[in-house]
Amino acid sequence: MNGLGRGKEPVTVLAGPYGHPFHPILVTVPIGAWVASLVFDIGSRLVDSDAAALATGSRWLIAIGVLGAAAAALIGFLDLFAIPTRTPAFRTAMVHMSLNVTITAAYLVNFLLRLGQGPVPTGLIVMSALSIAALGVSGYLGGKLAFQYGIRVVDQEAQAAGFDPTSTAKD
């Protein structure tokens, strides 16, 4: 089997069946939680009456994001094992993974530094904003893995069946 075929097939059903990888759906949890936490952080600086509640909500969202990132990483490792080493796709995946580990560690530190007593300190908001920016870069690389290199994406024959009105391929 060539490298391209290896990158499309799951190494185990735990990573999701052929054409339906679980990693992309799992990453929505930390992305959504961390973006929402930044919104709560900013909100805690803009209101007087509910600043503590927003700060507490943000801390919980960060925790949910860290746990979601851990789940996404476990499945992402399974997808990484399907990519042949010494290839541009593997190098891209390693940078993607390294960024995500760094971002998750930054959010774990951010979580531990929060007291939840009123407005979130500016330094922690900046830390969250920088982490979100890095997450955007990592997301770009994840998209490159899927849409440019076709990692865990079905082959072109299976894709073409979706555009053939006479095809009996299952949805």
The pLDDT assigned to 143 comes to: 94
pLDDT for residue 5: 62
Which of the four pLDDT bands, split at 50, 70 and 90, describes residue 166? confident
Identify whether 168 is part of a domain. Answer: no
Tokens 């082959």 -> residue: 155
- Tell me whether residue 149 is in a domain: yes
Query: How many domains does the chain divide into?
Result: 1
Whether residue 160 is predicted with pLDDT greater than 80 in this model: the reply is no
Domain with 129 in it = 17-156
Q: Is the pLDDT of residue 117 over 80?
A: no
Is 70 part of any domain?
yes
Q: What are the pLDDT digits (tens) for 150-159?
A: 887 777 777 7
pLDDT score of 85 more than 90: yes
Q: Where are the alpha helices (DSSP H) in the chain?
A: 3-8, 23-26, 28-46, 51-81, 88-113, 122-143, 156-161
Residue 3: is its pLDDT beyond 60? no
Alpha-carbon distances of 92 from 27, 45, 73, 133, 138, rounded to whole Å: 17, 38, 15, 18, 10
Query: Is residue 147 assigned to a domain?
Result: yes
The answer to whether residue 36 sits within a structural domain is yes
Q: Is 163 inside a domain boundary?
A: no
Residue 128 CB coordination number (10 Å): 24
In the chain, what percentage of residues exceed pLDDT 70? 85
Domain-embedded: residue 99? yes
In a domain, 12, yes or no: no
Residue 152 near residue 7, CB atoms below 8 Å: yes
pTM confidence score: 0.86
Digit-coded pLDDT (tens) for 27-73 = 999 999 999 999 999 999 999 888 899 999 999 999 999 999 999 99
